[in-house]
Amino acid sequence: MIKTGNSIAEGKYMHMRCAAHIINLIVTDGLKELDESVKRVRAAVRYIRNGPSRITRFKELARLEKVDGEAFLSLDVCTRWNSTYLMLATAINFEKVFARYEEEDPLYTLDLTSEKAPGIPVDSDWENATKMAEFLGQFYHLTLSVSATLHVTVNQFVMDIAEINVVLEEWADSDDILRKTMAKKMQDKYDKYWGRWNEEVENERGKGKGKKKEEENVNMFVFAATVLDPRFKLSNFTKLAIEEMYGELNGGKAWEAVKTFMHALFEEYKAKYAPSDASKHVRAPQSELTQKREGRKLVSRINKKLRVGDGEASMSKSEYEKYLHEENEVNRDDFDILKWWKNNAARFPILARMARDVLAVPVSTVAS
């Protein structure tokens, strides 16, 4: 592909790690800290759902306790943390109902306290479940975002990664021991895949401390997509988001690398798709009226003055520079990036080509 000129950036960025998979690894590490509490809540939910008469009685008790949950109890699939989140999020709303059900059904206690059973969920288990549901909720919505199929996902991805880091740092600084321990485990996994800049990885390789893993670096096209989002571009907002990902020192290196990469990428597309010099000078036939107007002395003199000073500098700006210097679009949730590039393709033809390629990159492959 390189020899035929059909590869962008010499094929260095062909591999994109699945974001949903990495989120799964991060969250699974955190869940280990609450394994016992999750098992108890799961056992309680399974017992209730294991018979129509139990479900009917449980719903009656929920009405008596005036618990009006929009969703009823759902049992999770142990290997899918997102289903565990949904199970916990609904179960914690029925905490009082479970306590009442324990008093009404002696088999409930016998079943959950048998030899291989995890036990009945107690107050500390419900407290842990509440914390976990709160924490997992952010990762759940993030997973939905990165695995969407009907809109672009790559342009928002840098902000999503930075968001995860902020959440983990807040939990790491918490006075709550459980939150702190969970955050530490998850932060280690986050750093392994997203929180280290490639120079840091290179140094470790040089010391022989790790295997050569290209996938440990974030694909540069993720940053390119952010720059090609007219809400972010190369703004201070984008710079600070990158610093949130890597820290101030490595964030500065990453920021310079992103600017260098974007300039090189634009020059590559410009060489491929910019109109030739010959085509620039070909003019369409002019009407007699237009020819007369251009022949006027006033127009000629003013045009000559415009070509000096600031006017000349403005005319020498590249398409990429003009795009960056324009005011950013308002950051709205309903912003349609594809529509924006379609409407502005005539003004930025080379960048529109870049956007069409870069924004097509999915950040996740999720099993149906």
**pLDDT per position as a tens digit, 296-351:** 777 677 767 766 555 454 557 889 999 999 999 999 988 999 999 999 999 999 99
208: left (phi over 0), alpha (psi -120 to 50) or beta: left
Report d(CA 108, CA 44) in Å as an integer: 8
Report d(CA 269, CA 125) in Å as an integer: 57
Mark whether 143 and 158 lie in a shared domain: no
pLDDT for residue 193: 84
Mark whether 127 and 227 lie in a shared domain: no
Residue 310 domain flag: no
Q: What is the dihedral sign for C-alpha 171, 176, 180, 181?
A: negative
pLDDT for residue 367: 53
Residue 76 domain flag: yes
Mark whether 109 and 227 lie in a shared domain: no
Mark whether 118 and 259 lie in a shared domain: no
Report d(CA 38, CA 314) in Å as an integer: 62
Mark whether 130 and 28 lie in a shared domain: yes
Mark whether 50 and 165 lie in a shared domain: no
pLDDT for residue 306: 67
pLDDT for residue 276: 64
pLDDT for residue 357: 92
Structural domain containing residue 141: 14-147
Identify the segments of the chain with pLDDT beneath 70.
69-70, 198-217, 276-295, 299, 303, 306-315, 366-368
Mark whether 252 and 267 lie in a shared domain: yes
- Domains in the chain: how many in total? 2
Q: What is the dihedral sign for C-alpha 316, 319, 324, 325?
A: positive
pLDDT for residue 135: 81
The structure tokens 């407290």 sit at 127
For helices 337-344 and 349-358, give the axis angle rounded to 10 degrees. Answer: 150
Helix (H) or strand (E) holding 344: helix 337-344
pLDDT for residue 180: 85
Residue 39 domain flag: yes
Q: Cβ neighbours of residue 323 under 8 Å, at least 6 residues apart?
A: 230, 233, 348, 351
Residue 65 domain flag: yes
Mark whether 137 and 86 lie in a shared domain: yes
134, 174 Cβ separation under 8 angstroms: no
Residue 286 domain flag: no
173, 184 Cβ separation under 8 angstroms: no
Mark whether 164 and 265 lie in a shared domain: yes
pLDDT for residue 278: 43
Mark whether 178 and 191 lie in a shared domain: yes
pLDDT for residue 315: 55
Tokens of 180: 């702190």
pLDDT for residue 30: 78
For helices 81-91 and 19-31, give the axis angle rounded to 10 degrees. Answer: 50
The predicted model scores a pTM of 0.74
pLDDT for residue 349: 94
How far is residue 299 from each of residues 46, 83, 282, 290, 303, measured CA to CA in Å? 83, 70, 21, 12, 6
Report d(CA 48, CA 72) in Å as an integer: 11
Residue 238 domain flag: yes
193, 216 Cβ separation under 8 angstroms: yes
Residue 289 domain flag: no
pLDDT for residue 368: 41
Report which residue type is found at 34: L
Query: Which residue, 5, 34, 28, 8, is CA-closest to 221?
Result: 8
Residue 303 domain flag: no
